Amino acid sequence: MSRAGLVAARLLQIVPTFLAIGAVVFVLARLLPGDPVSAMLGDRATEEAVTRLRAQLGLDQPLWTQFLLFAGRMLHGDFGTSIALRVPVTAVIAERLPATLVLTALATVLAVGLAVPLAFVAATQAGRWPDTLIRAAFQVGLSSPIFYVGLLLLTVFAAGLRWFPVGGYGDGVAGHLYHLLLPALTLALSFSAVIMRNLRAAILEVLQAEFVDFARSKGLSRRVVLFRHVLRNALLSTVTLVGLQVGTLLGGAVITESVFAVPGVGRLMVDSIFARDYPVIQALTLVLAVIVSLAFLVTDLVQMWLDPRVAR
């Protein structure tokens, strides 16, 4: 298949994925305890009113018709009204989503910036003390829950040293970045451990490859071989890993935002559970899954672009 054909085929795959995500969220909503109509109208509603509202919401239709109605509303961005905030769910999410996206993007940049040099040192010094030290550090990183790391950073750098604000989101671009730096670092520390482990293994693997021997035998300097040939090839796996871990990052953002009181969708999700704000939970589950599936799509496309072997 031609490259354009492959790209088109991959783009088309997103349609059934979105439908399936919708189906899962629909089923989750159906599992909710209690009837939405009696929840909305209360116990003393007349039978007539109940029937009318059921018809209005399409609840008297067969299940698959209900699903189509649901899917149609989703496509129009109509997620209903937030029970707790009494505004359209779409508006709430649109207001809260940027903070989460900035947080995860910043965390990714920090994590990659931290992990790449350390993984490089660990792999090129494999078996010696810098490697042991770095691996021990990422073992601790992988075993530390995000909320705990966040709380420690918050105490030392915000409450103690007062270098950073204790929470919130600030004003303007600079204010947002300043407020999100500590939360992003929290998220980045655990993420960088994952990247580091993966990249270290990838570098060690590439070092075994024949083209590296060939590059060396051509008389290229160690520096050129390591940076141009080894690191560049090993970083391919990091690109894939970052794409595949977007879901984990968003999950981490839920916790980080709760610790640092960042007004993003993660904190909204937790707040909504305690407020029993089911329309918001439902919409967020859907939106976050859609973001992850788009991240998978971009990862695949980037991989096709970076590594011509994938598309062949």
Is 11 near other proteins (CB under 8 A)?
no
- Least separation in angstroms between CB 48 and other proteins: 30
Tokens read off for 115:
């992990």
- Least separation in angstroms between CB 219 and other proteins: 34
Q: Is 257 exposed, middle or buried (0-12, 13-18, 19+ CB in 10 A)?
A: buried
The 10 Å Cβ neighbour count of residue 66 is 16
**Closest CB to other proteins among residues 67, 278:** 278
Tell which phi-psi region holds residue 235, choosing left (phi > 0), alpha (psi between -120 and 50) or beta: alpha
Footprint (CB under 8 A) of other proteins, residues 129-168: 139-140, 142-148, 151-152, 154-155, 159-160
Footprint (CB under 8 A) of other proteins, residues 29-88: 31-33
Is 250 near other proteins (CB under 8 A)?
yes
Half-sphere exposure of 83 (CA within 13 A, CB side): 16
Q: Could you tell me which residues are beta bridge partners of residue 88?
A: 81
- Least separation in angstroms between CB 141 and other proteins: 10
The answer to whether the beta carbons of residues 185 and 108 sit under 8 Å apart is: no
Cα distances (angstroms) measured from residue 239 to each of 115, 119, 301: 13, 14, 11
- Least separation in angstroms between CB 239 and other proteins: 18
- Least separation in angstroms between CB 149 and other proteins: 9
Residues that bind other proteins (CB under 8 A): 17, 20-21, 24, 28, 31-33, 139-140, 142-148, 151-152, 154-155, 159-160, 246-248, 250-252, 254-255, 258, 269-270, 272-274, 278, 281-282, 284-285, 288-289, 292-293, 296
